[in-house]
Amino acid sequence: MQSTWQHTTVLLNEAVEALLTNPDGSYTDATFGRGGHSRLILSRLSAQGHLTVFDKDPEAIAAAQALADPRLAIRHEGFRYLGELPQGSQSGVLLDLGISSPQIDNPARGFSFRADGPLDMRMDTTRGQSVAEWLAVAEVPQIAQVIREYGEERFAGPIAKAIVDRRQKRGPIQGTAELAELVAGAVKTRESGQNPATRTFQALRIFINAELEELEQALKASLHVLQPGGRLVVISFHSLEDRIVKQFIASHNRAVFDRRAPFAEPKAMQLNALERVKPSAAEVAGNPRSRSAVMRVAERTAASAGSAA
């Protein structure tokens, strides 16, 4: 079913300009969303060009299918499967991380505390465990660890205790409004301009969708699928994601020496870091959700291209 919720693509032109170096090439948009980047990529590809898109969300897949473009291949799965594409086959890979506005704005998806809805938060609503189902069985140490690590929330312990106490007294939490209210009661001090439940909701969403683990898998796979000169473009929206991307590019942006074999040739540099881009003031003014975005661009080197060692 086609969603009526609207989405404004962040860093649209900047991302596609950084990605697209060959109109005849094969590209991957590993997070189709509502197709803003993909549509622009397709408009700039030749008849010989090709675009593969990945997305977990059934509504995103429906939006991709509506394009009906013979140059487009659609995969209803997460970008952890990027490595299944042929070795050295891609001229560029784009990862636009996080969640889309339709997912946030639709209360039925359970991503936001702004309107009450079922406590779901799954990117793919056809499979897997919802947040409500997990919170119904998880214990205090597990919940606290997730909120602390993925939300960087210093009140993770009190929040986890409040969730389990509520469950023991009145049954599992089912709705987003109830969870937000519970978190607000456990958070002693609030950050200016931020709802006290923001970090907890972020943490639960990242955990239930295994977002950081999937990101690490996709980054490693990009070394396998990118051809020499192919571009890796990643847009992240919070520090946990950006740290992983930054460290990945940096670790492959230098020759690596094996200390156990000091006279051996070093492993060649695999990525050349090109640029770091933030949204313009005009974009942030027009789309406040873009304010935290960071785009990093790297290029696959000729040495050892196609190997993800």
Any bridge partners for residue 294, and if so which?
Answer: 236
Q: Note the pLDDT of residue 8.
A: 80
Cα 65 to its chain centre, rounded Å, is 21
Residue 179 tokens read as 């969870």
301 phi, psi to nearest 5 deg: -80, 165
Q: What's the token pair of residue 278? A: 């933030």
Res 309: pLDDT: 42
Tokens at residue 43, please? Answer: 């408009």
pLDDT at 108: 87
| pLDDT for the residue 257 | 53
HSE-CB at 194 with a 13 A cutoff on CA atoms is 14
160: tokens are 């986890």
Topology annotation, domain 124-200: DNA polymerase; domain 1 (1.10.150)
Residue 110: predicted pLDDT: 87
> First-to-last CA distance in the chain?
41
12-101+211-300 and 124-200, same CATH topology? no
Q: Look up residue 98 and give its amino acid.
A: G
pLDDT in tens, the chain (309 residues): 344 556 689 999 999 999 999 999 999 999 999 899 999 999 999 999 999 999 999 999 999 999 989 999 999 999 999 999 999 999 999 999 988 777 887 888 988 888 899 999 999 999 999 999 999 999 999 999 999 999 999 999 999 999 999 999 999 998 999 999 999 999 988 777 788 999 999 999 999 999 999 999 999 999 999 999 999 999 999 999 999 999 999 999 876 555 665 655 556 779 999 999 999 999 999 988 889 999 999 999 986 444 444
Residue 96 to residue 110: CA distance in whole angstroms: 21
Beta bridge pairs of residue 236: 294
CA-to-CA distance for 111 and 200, rounded, in angstroms? 11
Other Cβ atoms less than 10 A from the Cβ of 270: the count is: 25
pLDDT at residue 2, as a whole number: 41
pLDDT of residue 20: 97
Distance from C-alpha of 308 to C-alpha of 306, rounded to nearest angstrom: 7
User: What confidence score (pLDDT) does residue 260 get?
Assistant: 64
pTM score: 0.89
Give the per-residue pLDDT at 98.
82
Write down the H helix ranges in the chain.
12-19, 36-44, 58-65, 101-105, 131-135, 140-151, 156-170, 176-186, 198-208, 211-225, 239-251, 281-286
Q: How far apart (Å, rounded) are the C-alpha atoms in residues 128 and 76?
A: 14
Domain residue spans of the chain: 12-101+211-300, 124-200
C-alpha Rg value of the chain to the nearest Å: 21
CATH tag for 12-101+211-300 (out of 3.40.1190.20, 3.40.50.2300, 3.40.50.150, 3.30.930.10):
3.40.50.150
Q: Is 289 left (phi over 0), alpha (psi -120 to 50) or beta?
A: alpha
